[in-house]
């Protein structure tokens, strides 16, 4: 539908009784929270995409606005439930005064259809108790030990005795079951509001409960992701294909995939328009490339290597080149495979491409009878540490990690490596990926949340939509390069400022609880003076003293090459070496009670901890090597237990 002249903005009426309810700041959800959130979603879509909505979408808004509050509440409740069929007897919401009347109203407005559920679905959803009760009510001539039968045996018994039709009528009486009609296009509004398939109405609840507190970035109409009706239709089409792939049995084990259904799916993929050329829409193009990769990977698993090659050839997005090389290898075309590998080594699109290419190169050289290149292993030291188990270690036995990601061996190593040697203290803290990712998020906070076209669709995002895409850096290159230059000159003030200005706000990079784990008590300074809650935390002070702005600039440049890959693999521990000057810290405290570290001697080293049987991952090796080449000691500690 084209934009209509002099069209009035879409209006969504709110039921009167929602106003004046409990504040969400109390972390208690008000009675009609779900309806308020649904209305907020409709209003957001109307404001951002009202000029592009079609007759079906506008009709749904008008119909929903005309409903009574009870009918509105019931419809939103049904949308939030698992369907597609619903039974009147199973609906019980205390805030809805008349559920039967609300159901009748929804039927009158063609928002629901009375329909008997599918047999397989009904039997799968029914409990053993419900099946037993229905069988007893259906026939008195039952085996005595029917209650001892398993659910599957109950169903088999009903089939063998001819009672299944009566059982189904008892479970699903006429006019008691219904489903949402095609006019209830709420999923379209979710897609347009969030502009991401991974978010839904449940996101509102996390904010209502105070679990997430989001940055106040701009979501202006000028920065929306879709500007024509054709692009919106493309979003719907691609989303339905993703849903079909995940829910239609195409993403499972190769043995479970029907090749006929898969052929039909691939045919529809080939008929998709080129959204980059026709609409210039990078978001739709990324979604399309993701579908090509998913379909090609399944064809590869099915052993259709030639067909997989053809699909992989439709996209340059990693891991397309890697998979093409592997398919060519399976087909015995190793020379062609090696060409892909050498191209990946010469100009990797991501760091993961470089690493996998090194492994493939070795394998292909061996297959072709050529001398294999020397494997890259990185440069770093290793040492062994034997530890006696403590009661705390025993309590953590069998657990890989706790909620914060600190594993048993990491905690033990941190305790044993924290020592006092003469006038020097070595203070080890388990940080893993959290510290350097947090420093990155704090350093570029304002740039991450700046208003860039298509970056932010709603008020519930912890990052821009292109955060982990190759275009993130180029689209903000001028601002990022300016920030890197400031860091290289020694200016780290923006990190401190962002910490205090944004503390507690959700950012995909910043791990706020990390900064509460190390207190001044660790240095024996507890009674010096009360610590203000706005004081810069000790861990942040130590990090910004140990690592220069120039070092952080180099670190962030490395991360910007592939943000998804480089946000992981950092060493587990950071060990701060504090000299006597630091231990006299109370005498150098500033007026606000925060220690003055400028003149203190603080250095740091990084340690990756490996327990028995654990091995280094590729990204860990990359980071260990990088830190050592850039002036920060990084090593591997192989920990074993003293029996």
Alpha carbon distance 292, 269 (integer Å): 7
The confidence score (pLDDT) of residue 402 equals 37
CATH number for the domain spanning 315: value is 1.25.40
In the chain the first and final C-alpha atoms are separated, in Å, by 74
The confidence score (pLDDT) of residue 154 equals 81
How much of the chain is helix, strand and coil, in % rounded to 5? Answer: 50, 10, 40
Alpha carbon distance 334, 339 (integer Å): 9
Q: Are residues 508 and 603 in the same domain?
A: yes
Closest among 205, 197, 217 to 38, alpha carbons compared: 205
Residue 18 phi, psi (nearest 5): -75, -30
In a domain, 22, yes or no: no
Domain that holds residue 273: 231-368
Residue 248 phi, psi (nearest 5): -95, 15
Alpha carbon distance 627, 554 (integer Å): 10
Closest among 17, 458, 12, 435 to 195, alpha carbons compared: 458
Q: Are residues 254 and 392 in the same domain?
A: no
Q: Are residues 493 and 630 in the same domain?
A: yes
Q: Are residues 552 and 519 in the same domain?
A: yes
The residue behind tokens 């025993």 is 394
Tens-place pLDDT, residues 272-317: 887 766 667 888 988 999 999 999 999 998 899 999 999 999 898 9
Tens-place pLDDT, residues 330-351: 999 999 999 999 999 999 998 8
pLDDT level of residue 66 (50, 70, 90 thresholds) = very high
Alpha carbon distance 133, 170 (integer Å): 9
Global pTM value: 0.79
In a domain, 554, yes or no: yes
Q: What mean pLDDT comes out for the span 530-550?
A: 83
Alpha carbon distance 553, 567 (integer Å): 15
For residue 87, the SS3 value is strand
In a domain, 219, yes or no: no
Q: Give the chain's domain count.
A: 3
Closest among 328, 325, 365 to 344, alpha carbons compared: 325
In a domain, 26, yes or no: no
In a domain, 184, yes or no: yes
Consecutive H or E run containing 60: helix 55-66
The DSSP bridge partners found for residue 573 are 430, 607
Q: Find the DSSP H helices in 210-281.
A: 229-247, 259-270, 275-278
In a domain, 374, yes or no: no
Q: Are residues 172 and 263 in the same domain?
A: no
Q: Are residues 258 and 389 in the same domain?
A: no
Higher pLDDT, 618 or 218: 618
In a domain, 21, yes or no: no
Look at 374-378, 557-561, 577-581 and tell me which has the smallest mean pLDDT.
577-581
Q: What is the DSSP letter of 109?
A: T
Q: Are residues 554 and 614 in the same domain?
A: yes
Q: Are residues 390 and 361 in the same domain?
A: no
Residue 578 phi, psi (nearest 5): -110, 130
CB of 99 closer than 8 Å to CB of 88: yes
Higher pLDDT, 601 or 21: 601
The confidence score (pLDDT) of residue 404 equals 34
Q: Are residues 516 and 623 in the same domain?
A: yes
In a domain, 179, yes or no: yes
Tens-place pLDDT, residues 41-63: 999 999 999 999 999 999 999 99
């Amino acid at each position: 539908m084209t934009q209509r002249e002099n069209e009035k903005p879409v209006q969504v009426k709110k039921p009167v009784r929602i106003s004046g309810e409990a504040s969400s700041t109390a972390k208690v959800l008000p009675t009609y929270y779900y309806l308020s959130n649904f209305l907020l979603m409709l209003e957001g879509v109307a404001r951002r995409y009202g000029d592009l909505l079609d007759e079906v979408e506008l009709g749904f808004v008008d119909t929903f606005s005309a409903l009574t509050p009870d009918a509105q509440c019931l419809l939103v409740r049904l949308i939030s439930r698992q369907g597609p069929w619903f039974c009147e007897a199973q609906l019980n919401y205390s805030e809805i005064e008349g559920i039967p009347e609300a159901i009748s109203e929804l039927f009158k407005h063609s928002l629901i259809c009375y329909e008997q559920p599918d047999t397989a679905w009904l039997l799968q959803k029914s409990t053993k108790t419900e099946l037993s009760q229905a069988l007893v009510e259906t026939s008195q001539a039952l085996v005595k030990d029917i209650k001892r039968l398993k659910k599957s045996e109950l169903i088999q018994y009903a089939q063998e005795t001819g009672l299944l039709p009566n059982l189904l009528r008892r479970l699903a009486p006429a006019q008691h079951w219904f489903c949402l009609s095609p006019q209830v296009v709420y999923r379209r509004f979710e897609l347009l509001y969030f502009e991401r398939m991974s978010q839904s109405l449940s996101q509102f609840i996390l904010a209502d409960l105070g679990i997430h507190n989001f940055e106040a970035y701009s979501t202006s109409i000028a920065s929306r992701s879709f500007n024509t009706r054709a692009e919106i239709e493309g979003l719907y089409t691609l989303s339905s294909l993703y849903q079909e792939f995940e829910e239609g049995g195409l993403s499972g084990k190769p043995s479970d995939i029907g090749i006929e259904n898969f052929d039909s799916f691939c045919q529809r993929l080939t008929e998709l328009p080129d959204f980059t050329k026709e609409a210039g829409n990078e978001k739709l193009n990324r979604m399309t490339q993701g579908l090509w990769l998913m379909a090609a990977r399944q064809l590869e698993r099915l052993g259709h290597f030639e067909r997989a090659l053809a699909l992989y050839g439709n996209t340059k997005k990693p891991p397309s080149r890697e998979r093409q090389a592997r398919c060519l290898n399976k087909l015995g075309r190793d020379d062609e495979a090696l060409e892909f590998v050498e191209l990946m080594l010469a100009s990797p699109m991501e760091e993961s491409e470089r690493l996998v290419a090194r492994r493939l190169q070795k394998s292909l050289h061996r297959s072709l009878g050529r001398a294999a290149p020397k494997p890259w292993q990185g440069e770093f030291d290793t040492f062994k540490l034997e530890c006696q188990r403590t009661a705390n270690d025993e309590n953590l036995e069998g657990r890989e990690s706790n909620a914060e990601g600190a594993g048993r061996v990491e905690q033990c190593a941190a305790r044993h490596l924290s020592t006092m040697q003469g006038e020097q203290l070595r203070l080890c803290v388990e940080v893993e990926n959290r510290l350097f990712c947090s420093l990155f998020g704090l350093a570029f906070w304002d740039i991450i949340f700046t208003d860039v076209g298509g970056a932010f669709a709603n008020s519930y995002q912890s990052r821009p939509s292109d955060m982990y895409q190759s275009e993130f850096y180029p689209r903000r290159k001028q601002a990022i390069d300016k920030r890197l230059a400031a860091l290289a000159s020694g200016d780290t003030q923006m990190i401190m400022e962002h910490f205090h200005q944004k503390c507690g706000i959700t950012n995909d990079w910043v791990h706020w609880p990390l900064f509460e784990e190390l207190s001044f008590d660790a240095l024996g300074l507890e009674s010096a003076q009360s610590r203000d809650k706005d004081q810069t935390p000790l861990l942040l002070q130590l990090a910004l003293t140990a690592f220069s702005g120039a070092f952080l600039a180099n670190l962030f440049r490395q991360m910007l090459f592939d943000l998804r890959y480089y946000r992981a693999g950092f060493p587990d521990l950071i060990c701060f070496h504090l000299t006597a000057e630091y231990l006299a810290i109370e005498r150098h405290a500033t007026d606000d009670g925060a220690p003055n570290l400028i003149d203190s001697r603080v250095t740091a080293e990084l340690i990756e901890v490996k327990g028995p049987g654990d091995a280094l991952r590729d990204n860990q090796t990359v980071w260990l090597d990088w830190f050592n080449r850039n002036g920060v000691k990084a090593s591997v500690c192989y920990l074993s237990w003293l029996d």
